[in-house]
């Protein structure tokens, strides 16, 4: 019984190793390149309670589909919206960031894009000032 358990454990370890290697090569070969026209958007002065959009354009300039896995803001007051389907080579998409605060003052929000580009993570910045 002990030998059988060891054999199963060895087989599982081999399977996990091959799966990891296959995942590495699959992802390595599916990388693409992107350009982002403007990584910082200043929204200027915004009245408190008013939603304001910052629209970032991202273009797939590589040879593989661009897959945006996640767009993560650093604040609950920042809501991202992006295309969930793959973006073909030489096509563009918009990442829309909606900002809404209920207090006065200057703000700067950082949004992290995770995707299959060679850099894998890109930082966008939205800033402005909420006024009464």
Kindly tell me the sign of the dihedral angle through the C-alpha atoms of 70, 50, 42, 56.
positive
| In the chain, domain spans | 1-30, 34-131
Q: What gap in Å lies between CA 12 and CA 10, rounded to an integer?
A: 5
Q: How far, in Å, are 6, 76, 127 from residue 68 at the CA level?
A: 41, 20, 23
Torsion angles phi and psi, residue 83, rounded to 5:
-70, 125
CATH number of 34-131: 2.60.40.10
Please state whether 62 falls in left (phi above 0), alpha (psi between -120 and 50) or beta. Answer: beta
The pLDDT profile of the chain, 132 residues, written as one tens digit per residue, is: 566 666 666 655 565 555 555 445 555 568 999 999 899 999 999 999 899 999 999 999 999 999 999 999 998 889 999 999 999 999 999 999 999 888 899 999 999 999 999 888 999 999 999 999
Answer yes or no: are the C-beta atoms of 80 and 70 closer than 8 Å.
no
């Amino acid at each position: 019984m002990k030998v059988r358990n060891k054999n199963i454990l060895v087989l599982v370890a081999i399977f996990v190793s091959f799966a990891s290697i296959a995942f590495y090569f699959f992802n390595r070969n599916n990388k693409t390149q992107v350009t982002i026209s403007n990584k910082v958007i200043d929204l200027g002065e915004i009245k408190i309670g008013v939603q304001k959009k910052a629209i970032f354009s991202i273009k797939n300039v590589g040879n593989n589909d661009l897959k945006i896995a996640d767009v993560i803001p650093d604040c609950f007051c920042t809501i991202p919206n992006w295309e969930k389907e793959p973006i073909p080579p030489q096509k563009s998409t918009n990442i829309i960031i909606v900002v809404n605060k209920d207090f006065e003052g200057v703000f700067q929000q950082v949004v992290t894009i995770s995707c299959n580009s060679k850099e894998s993570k890109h930082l966008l910045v939205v800033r402005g000032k909420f006024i009464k």
